[in-house]
Structure formats: structure tokens, C-alpha cells
């Protein structure tokens, strides 16, 4: 199990996270008239008759308003990588869940099975492209009479990165905030998201467990910032992460501005050199591009003074 999977297990073992996910992202389940006030978690460890155990991710049993004994089972599987055979796995998990329900509830021959909604929650960066229906994996002609006996399992896919950012911003659940944090790679955007997380928990101080879990999400997001050079030492608390990141953003902004100035100076120096000498020795352009702003100023002054390349850059750097 990856660290990300473990964190998702703990996040969606909290009823508020599951309620937010279902309310805002699974309208088909909402149409069943779910009573969230009586939802309960179900063990996701399945024991076969011979003792072999299979572990699912998270399962919730949700009563509906259709009657006191009508329940919807939501089977959540978390994926950080694309799995082409996901629908086969979900068929196995659904079958094991029903076997467990039959055994534990001692269902009789006249009883019916409760409905199960399999959901795959995917947080990878690449768009999910695996079949969501088992029939798409079976090799049969479209008109084959054998289709009648093939299993027809499908799962509900929630691909976090597929939701437009503007749509997620309009949503108010912690699940939507989680999706945004998981796919945030820019420091200034992450700062804003951390402020939203801090504000949410200030408005809801009773959810201390979730606050600790979201601190882990924020730390994970900070570690995943792209193009920030050396690894960042991430503090423990959420407010400390925010303070650290705010300081870092200022440093990175100054660095980007300095790099922009150096890039402009390098372009000017190269243009003037080519105008004077028509061609440059191999490797000299790369050295100029990698130079600091102060070095570029010094070389430009020497060029303006009419110095030859050997005096501008030194004899070891012009051949």
C-alpha cells in the first residue's frame, strides 16, 4: 500500500468525507434517497471459506429512505495508478462483499441482496483510460449468443483531475478541497488552498481528526511542488507549513525575477558578440546562459571596452 493509499483509507474512513463525496460527486447514489445520519462502516477484509483473506479499501453501509431494511453498500477503491483490469478486481470485491453479507445477515433463500455501488477514486495525473465495464475486456463478437452469460460488472469512476478547476472551486465539501490539493503544483495556488483549509477547520473545530489528516495532505502537496530545486523540509503543523511556504514563495519569486533579468542580459551579450565576431567558439553560449547576473555585467563591460574574447572570458573558455 502506498502512503497516498493509506492516507485515503484514513480520510474516507470518516463519515463526513464520504458524505461530501457522495453528495457532490455521485448523484446516482443521492437519487436512492440516502440517510447519512445512520451510515456505518463495514469491514473490508473478506475471508474465503478456506481462510484466505482479501483486503478491499473502504466499504460503507448507507440506509435509504425507501424502508428500514433497504441499504446501499458503497465500495470505495483508491487508485494512484491506472489498472486496465480494475473491472475484474471490482467484480471479485463485489462478489466477496455479497458472500459476506449472506453469511453475516444469515440471508434466507427468499431474501434479496442489497445493491452495491463500486466506486474507483483515482488521484493520478494521467487521465484514466482503463475500461469501466467488464464487458469491454471480454473478447466476443457483438452478436455472439455467449454475451447472455457474461458477467456485467461496472464501476463508477471518479477521476479527480478530470473535474474542471472552476467546478471544484464552486463546491464546498472537503472532498472537493482534497481533489484540488492533490493536483496543485504551483506554490502560490497551494498557499491559497492552505488558507481555505485553515478557514474551513476554524469554522468546524470539532473535526480534529480530519484536521490532522488534511495536514498530511498539505504536507504531501508541498513536497510535490514542481521545479523548486532542492527538497523542502516540511514542518509538522499546517500553519507552520503555510508560514514556510509563504517565505519560500517570496524567495522563489525573487529568484525567478533575477533569472529573468539574467536571461535578458545573456540575450543582449550574445547578440552584441555575434554582431562583432559573427561566430562564437563551441560551448561559449552555454557558459553565457548559465552565468550569474554579476558575471554577465562584467563580461558586457569588457565587450564595451573592445576586449577580445580571450580577455572577456579567459583563454580557457573560448576554444
Last residue of a domain, one of 157, 183, 209: 183
The answer to whether residue 201 is domain-embedded is no
User: Residue 252 and residue 228: Cα distance in Å, rounded?
Assistant: 8
Could you read off the pLDDT of 67-102 as tens digits, one per residue? 656 788 899 999 999 999 999 999 999 999 998 888
269 touches 288 (CB < 8 A): yes
Residue finishing a domain among 150, 183, 216? 183
Between CA 77 and CA 93 the distance in angstroms is 10
Q: Report pLDDT digits (tens) over 22-36.
A: 999 998 888 888 889
48 pLDDT above the threshold of 70: no
Domain of 293 in residue numbering reads as 262-317
The residue that leads in pLDDT, 139 or 304, is: 139
Same domain as 152, residue 61: yes
Judge whether 120 and 129 are in contact, CB under 8 Å. Answer: no
With respect to residue 224, please indicate whether it lies within any of the assigned structural domains.
no
pLDDT at position 229, please? 47
Q: How many domains is the chain partitioned into structurally?
A: 2
Does the residue 235 lie in any domain?
Answer: no
Verify that 61 and 151 share a domain, yes or no: yes
Domain shared by 23 and 112, yes or no: yes
Mean pLDDT of the chain: 83
Same structural domain for residues 131 and 34? Answer: yes
Amino acid at each position: 500500500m502506498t502512503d497516498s493509499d493509506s492516507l485515503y483509507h484514513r480520510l474516507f474512513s470518516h463519515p463526513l468525507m464520504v458524505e461530501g463525496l457522495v453528495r457532490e460527486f455521485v448523484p446516482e447514489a443521492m437519487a436512492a434517497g440516502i440517510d447519512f445520519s445512520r451510515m456505518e462502516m463495514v469491514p473490508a477484509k473478506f475471508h474465503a471459506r478456506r481462510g484466505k483473506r482479501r483486503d478491499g479499501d473502504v466499504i460503507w453501509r448507507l440506509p435509504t429512505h425507501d424502508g428500514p431494511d433497504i441499504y446501499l453498500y458503497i465500495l470505495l477503491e483508491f487508485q494512484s495508478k491506472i489498472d486496465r483490469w480494475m473491472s475484474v478486481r471490482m467484480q471479485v470485491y463485489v462478489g466477496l462483499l455479497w458472500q459476506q453479507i449472506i453469511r453475516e445477515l444469515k440471508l434466507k433463500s427468499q431474501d434479496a441482496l442489497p445493491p452495491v455501488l463500486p466506486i474507483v477514486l483515482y488521484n493520478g495525473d494521467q487521465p484514466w483510460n482503463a475500461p469501466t465495464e467488464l464487458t469491454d475486456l471480454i473478447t466476443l463478437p457483438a452478436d455472439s449468443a455467449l454475451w447472455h452469460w457474461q458477467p456485467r460488472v461496472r464501476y463508477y469512476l471518479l477521476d479527480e483531475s478530470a473535474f474542471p478547476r472552476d467546478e471544484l472551486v464552486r463546491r464546498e465539501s472537503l472532498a472537493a478541497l482534497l481533489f484540488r490539493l492533490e493536483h496543485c503544483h504551483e506554490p502560490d495556488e497551494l498557499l491559497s488552498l492552505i488558507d481555505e483549509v485553515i478557514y474551513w477547520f476554524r469554522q468546524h473545530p470539532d473535526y480534529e481528526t480530519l484536521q490532522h489528516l488534511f495536514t498530511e495532505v498539505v504536507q504531501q502537496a508541498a513536497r510535490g511542488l514542481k521545479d523548486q530545486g532542492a527538497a523542502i523540509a516540511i514542518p509538522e503543523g499546517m500553519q507552520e507549513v503555510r508560514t514556510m511556504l509563504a517565505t519560500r514563495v517570496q524567495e522563489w519569486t525573487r529568484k525567478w525575477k533575477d533569472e529573468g533579468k539574467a536571461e535578458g542580459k545573456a540575450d543582449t551579450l550574445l547578440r552584441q558578440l555575434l554582431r562583432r565576431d559573427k561566430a562564437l567558439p563551441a560551448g561559449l553560449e552555454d557558459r553565457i546562459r548559465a552565468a550569474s547576473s554579476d558575471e554577465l555585467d562584467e563580461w558586457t563591460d569588457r565587450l564595451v571596452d573592445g576586449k577580445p574574447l580571450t580577455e572577456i572570458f579567459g583563454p580557457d573558455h573560448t576554444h
